[in-house]
Structure 1
């Protein structure tokens, strides 16, 4: 359980940093992705996109 939480946390960090590139494909604008502006800085937490991409990567790894 702790391992999966760590994996999801790392995936959120990676996807957050790659979000400007991934937005061109529609990732990061799903329901469940949080975006807000605080003190002039934009923050985004792509929780739904992380779960979707993690599931796709898991399925690809499982069947390969």
Structure 2
């Protein structure tokens, strides 16, 4: 692995840290997962992206 720096506004970093904690992940690992997903995702209409959006809508409404 190679280390790199990333500048983020404090408010954004706080949100990232909170989301990573919700998923019981380290902040850097959570960011890496998102980057890897974005690079492997061929577009907003692939089946995985569509399922994620549907799950988010269903679980958000039932919460």
TM-score (norm 2): 0.38
Higher-helix-fraction structure:
2
Q: Which has the higher contact order (CA 8 A, sep 6+)?
A: 1
Query: Quick check: which one's strand share is greater?
Result: 1
